[in-house]
Structure 1
């Protein structure tokens, strides 16, 4: 079973996640799967639980004892000088198999917990990666905004020099330029914070360079089925394995209440009496022994059986709660996906309209020097729509990541 589980682990680490949308993100997921300390700790717990199997499926150590007669016991064939005893206790039939089965199921449940943690890690990496792309796009848009505002300032100065504009227009644009510079500074500070968080999630240096993909790969809505939430779900598999182990634990409690059998051998060294008329003078004694335990104190076995029943009931309730939580999370993620999809369509339409308005206002101001306030307002509104669009594309991908996590992809 160990080889089978390790093979599954290797396949899980090598096979690329489904529905991957970007090359850099895929490489970061592979890096996280290899280096994240939390995931490595989960696998170490699984390896530790595998060692438990070897501990429970073997007999207790045999008992060896030695005795020396300070006052020799006289027998017909001579005085007894020393005694050697070797004995082995054997539990009731099926006890060791039950212990091994319990340990195996608990080890498998640990492996399923490892798989569940890997899915959770992949979701966390995606949810930390997409905000970085969003923020990078916001910085790019504000830099573009700053460049446009600078060109508008030059135009305003020309219009003022030609008597078509006012100094107020120039001052207004100066104020807005300073605002954008301040916003860029704050965005860069936030970028540093998000980069540290992402790098630590991958367990690497906090100042490591992060390669970012583009968010401009929105391809419409995608469908997910709630029926697939509990198909190949490692957490559900872990619950089931633990419940099977607890059931076996109840059976083990009954087996533990049955007698244990002991087999042994005594060897007694006898000295000679040097009397020729005594047959077998000085012959050592070899005596097979058999013992049986008497489990007459039954309260501990009854308590162990009751404990198993309570633990199984607790696992069933926790499994039910987990299923309810997953169903609720699925509905919320689907709603977020729908909202993001609709808002993306809205902002794409708004950007097209606002771009046309801005072109008309720019032409008007260039010729007449009028509507400068409207020109600046329209430009900032266009930037705001573009930033909102990138935010909603980020929200779309995060919703997809959550749905992939919930459907075990």
Structure 2
């Protein structure tokens, strides 16, 4: 009961922990996304499976620290054994085995370390699910932003079409200008239909991550606030070594193997049995003797188990040492992999930051240029193809800006994931 109470408290505290690793990031994160992360944490079947595996491991702790079951033996004499005080009819004995001092504690330590390793696997799975939710959410934001930008450009081209039509009717423009607008409008409308169809697979993936029976309507912000990383690369590398759940899981696995080595060593030492026996004796009828028919109670009975096969226990210890070395190599390999991933993700994060700044500048330049070209075309009949080319350039810059914003936040989320921070 105490174990279950402790588990419930842990789960309650975990659910109450604010999602987000810094105050600045928490303030910048979109409010709907916080709710989606909570839904994913509560509903995702993979998380439930891993957490139940962790709970199952905890249930092994009472088993590990328990003494072996006592042994009760009954003796019934088909031919009573005659003694000085009478014939032995039946007997009962009770014995309890006791392993070497500290063995039960070491066995419990093995299970405790394995449970901690399972919990780190749960933490890693939770962070992975959270990253998937975030990255899919940002993909959906880019899609919705692309739809909104494309619709705005359709409206802009429709105004250009009216302008070209006015100039054509006043014999100051060309029919080619009107045809160019129509071609661009057809392309944009076709692209718009594709973007709207692209909602279906992304929304399906998002609802799959949330594991909701009824698909929910996903809200995304009009403008995505970008998230910054406060720490430098060296600090993040230290965070990987210290906080990454997979690496921490390897540490707990090695601690469990250390405890298993201790258990194997203690199994190679003597263990003891304590017990008592009771024998029922029938009184003698042929003569009267002192204590005639008195039952025999023998306490205590002491036994010692002597482990003579030393190779068996040396082999058990060697097995655990080799397994520990194997886990250590796996941990080292994972550290190297994560460091390489961090360097690559840091590069992409820095590139996304630069792209956000770049496309903000380019959009300002392109907007000014488009305004000038439209004014020149309206008043002086300047090259209309230049107007359309600049409009397409502006559309590309706007789409690239939204993608860069989403990329920056995705890379921040991934860095938080591999460094083991709360997401």
User: What TM-score range do you get, normalising by the shorter chain?
Assistant: over 0.9
Counterpart in the other structure of 1:336: 348
Change (3 A) 1:398 1:219: closer
Q: Distance in 1 between matches of 2:88 and 2:325?
A: 60
Cα distance 1:336–1:107, how it changes in 2: closer, same or farther (>3 A)? same
Quick check: 1:71 aligned with 2:79? yes
Cα distance in 2, alignment partners of residues 103 and 118 from structure 1: 22
**Alpha-carbon distance in structure 2 between the residues aligned to 1:213 and 1:36:** 24
Deviates more, 1:36-45 or 1:344-353: 36-45
1:407/1:175 CA distance change after superposition, 3 Å? same
Q: CA RMSD in A?
A: 2.2
Find the counterpart in structure 2 of residue 383 from structure 1. 395
Structure 2 length-normalised TM: 0.90
What is the match of residue 121 of structure 2? 113
State the alpha-carbon separation in 1 of the partners of residues 363 and 374 from structure 2: 16
The whole-number CA distance in structure 2 between the counterparts of 1:186 and 1:130 is 18
C-alpha distance in structure 2 between counterparts of 1:344 and 1:67, whole Å: 88
Match of 1:356 in 2: 368
What is the aligned partner in structure 1 of residue 170 from structure 2? 162
Question: Which residue of the partner structure matches residue 201 of structure 1?
Answer: 209
Report the equivalent of 2:283: 272
| Structure 2 Cα separation of the partners of residues 299 and 214 of structure 1 | 71
Equivalent residues, number: 409
Q: For structure 2, which runs of at least 5 residues remain unmatched after alignment?
A: none
> Aligned residue for 2:336?
324
Residue 256 of structure 1 deviates from its aligned partner by 0.5
Cα contact 1:82–1:268 (8 A) shared by 2: yes
Q: Provide, for residues 209-233 of structure 1, a one-character-per-residue CA deviation record: whole Å limited to 9, x for no partner.
A: 0111244424777543333333344
Name the counterpart of 1:242: 253
Q: 1:206 to 1:353 in 2, by over 3 A?
A: farther
Q: Residue by residue, what CA displacement relative to the aligned partner does 1:271-323 show, whole Å, maximum 9, x if unpaired?
A: 22323433332222223332222211222211110111011111211121121
Task: Name the CA distance, whole Å, in 2 between partners of 1:222 and 1:360.
Answer: 41
Tell me, in whole angstroms, the C-alpha distance in 1 between the residues paired with 2:257 and 2:245: 18
Q: 2:160 aligns with which of 137, 152, 156?
A: 152
SS of the counterpart of 2:241?
coil
CA contact (8 A) 2:87 2:284 kept: yes
- Distance, in Å, in 2 between the alignment partners of 1:219 and 1:304 is 52
Q: How far apart, CA to CA, are the structure 2 residues paired with 1:39 and 1:87? A: 45
- Equivalent of residue 83 in structure 1, options 88, 91, 101: 91
* Deviating more after overlay: 206-215 vs 56-65: 206-215
Cα gap change, 1:296/1:150 in structure 2, threshold over 3 Å: closer, same or farther? same
Between the aligned partners of 1:215 and 1:266, the Cα distance in structure 2 is 83
CA distance in 2: counterparts of 1:232 and 1:353, whole angstroms: 45
SS at match of 2:59: helix
Equivalent position of 1:172 in the other structure: 180
Which of these residues, 142, 147, 150, is aligned with residue 139 of structure 1? 147
Secondary structure at the residue paired with 2:66? coil
Partner in structure 2 of residue 407 of structure 1 = 419
